[in-house]
Amino acid sequence: MTKRKLGNSNLEVSTLGLGCMGMSFGYGPAADKQEMISLIRLAVERGVTFFDTAEVYGPFANEELLGEALAPFRGRVVIATKFGFRLDPNGGPQWIGLDSRPDHIRQVAEASLRRLRVDAIDLFYQHRVDPEVPIEDVAGAVKTLIEEGKVRHFGLSEAGVDTIRRAHAVQPVTAVQSEYSLWTREPETELLPALEKLGIGFVPYSPLGRGYLTGKMNENTAFDSSDFRNTLPRFTPEARKANQALVTLLGKIAQRKNSTPAQIALAWLLAQKSWIVPIPGTRKRERLEENIGAVAVELTAEDLREIDQAASKITVQGARYPEKLEKMTGR
């Protein structure tokens, strides 16, 4: 596995990371813990060094999973986690609001350190921008944790460009995480140029469109009742049917390259910038191997032009999130 640096920072990670949320949360019932520990350790064996989690995934279960799975590999892997949600004090599965007050950030950091079984959090993202707390206060709180040796790098997730600039002025931002893929290209307009100018790395989540771009689902695919894709406008049967043209495009290129639609979708992302590190998630060994194989897929300038020209004629149907969650992005 090749390596990449996130922006101008000295944080070097595998070219492809592993998003671990779906192992515990979001896509139906949690997977078997021992199977997921084996999968995470297989990823390390295959050269993956960058793992993504958050306290809200579970809540807490995903961080605990990574803490146990990666305990034998301390110093060899980079773990990113996140703060910024207010969780149900009664232990319910859903968050009940945002909370990026400095004292809360510290509480989350201390608890995440215990669950992850580490001395320092490698990359600590604000999960969503909290409009009630100035971003300068958030960056200052993380800066203090970095000075204390409890955190190594600061990140932001789904933040707007102005917010990123203001945070970066207080504490350099190592990476920004937002959704980016062939069917979610909004970051190209303002975000990517700003990150390039500031020297900040970019970590696309859902680089395979929450599974849609793999070509393994269609309008008739049924999700478990607890799968949060049931709530996403882009995953209505009508939207899935309308967006099939994108999967057809990926399949056409994949056939020519002797690869898979998922590998073409990931290779396309990797070809955009040298400081982009996607974090596809999976619960399956064969999908992990397939995703890692994308690193070896070479797309020529002609291939990329063909993909862009064809994709530009496809209008993606359906919003990424329901309105309440959509409002929490790009602030």
Which helix (H) or strand (E) segment holds residue 83: the answer is: strand 78-83
Do you find a cis peptide bond into 59, omega within 30 degrees of 0? yes
CA distance 167 to 11: 18
CA distance 63 to 78: 13
Name the active-site residue from 27, 57, 205, 212.
57
Cα pseudo-dihedral 117, 121, 127, 131, rounded to 10: 120
Q: Is 125 a catalytic residue?
A: no
CA distance 78 to 48: 9
Angle, alpha carbons 1-49-7 (nearest 5°): 85
Burial of 149 (0-12, 13-18, 19+ CB in 10 A): exposed
* CB contact at 8 A, 173 and 124: no
* Residue type at position 286: E
Q: Of 182, 170, 172, 202, nearest to 314 (Cα)?
A: 182
Long-range contacts of 233-242 (CB under 8 A, 24+ apart): 233/318, 233/319, 233/320, 233/321, 233/322, 234/183, 234/316, 234/317, 234/318, 234/319, 234/320, 235/210, 235/318, 236/318, 238/317, 239/317, 239/318, 240/212, 242/317, 242/318
Tell me which residues are annotated as active site.
Answer: 57
